[in-house]
């Protein structure tokens, strides 16, 4: 048993700031940016809709959620187009 029973040992993990290298990392980056790109305008539009209609939380949730879904779909389409253009560019 350690000398002081209440001493807590904290180990700090080194943070890694690396650009994504694998295709799944790159795809995740596209999807994360797409979610943010859809959520931020969705939240703003939801707040603007709530001014005349009321129920701000409902409109922000609904329109923000729709924005996230649209952002994910757009991100997937862009990722597919870029990954296909990279693969055809490498084969030439």
**pLDDT for position 73:** 96
pTM over 0.85, yes/no:
no
pLDDT tens per residue across span 21-60: 777 888 899 999 999 999 999 999 999 999 999 999 999 9
What average pLDDT does this structure show over 54-74? 96
**pLDDT for position 35:** 95
- Find, among 46, 35, 41, 25, the residue nearest to 73 by Cα: 35
- Find, among 64, 69, 89, 72, the residue nearest to 31 by Cα: 72
In the chain, the largest separation of any two C-alpha atoms, in whole Å, equals 67
Residue 70 CA, chain-centre distance (Å), reads 12
CA 80 to CA 86: how far, in whole Å? 10
> Rg (Cα) of the chain, in Å, rounded?
22
């Amino acid at each position: 048993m350690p000398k002081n029973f209440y001493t807590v040992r904290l180990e700090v993990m080194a943070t890694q700031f690396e650009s994504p290298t694998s295709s799944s990392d790159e795809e995740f980056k596209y999807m994360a940016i797409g979610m943010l790109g859809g959520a931020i305008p969705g939240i703003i539009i939801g707040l603007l809709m709530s001014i005349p209609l009321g129920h701000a939380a409902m409109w922000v949730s609904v329109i923000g959620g729709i924005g996230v879904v649209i952002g994910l779909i757009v991100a997937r389409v862009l990722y597919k187009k870029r990954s296909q253009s990279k693969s055809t560019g490498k084969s030439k």
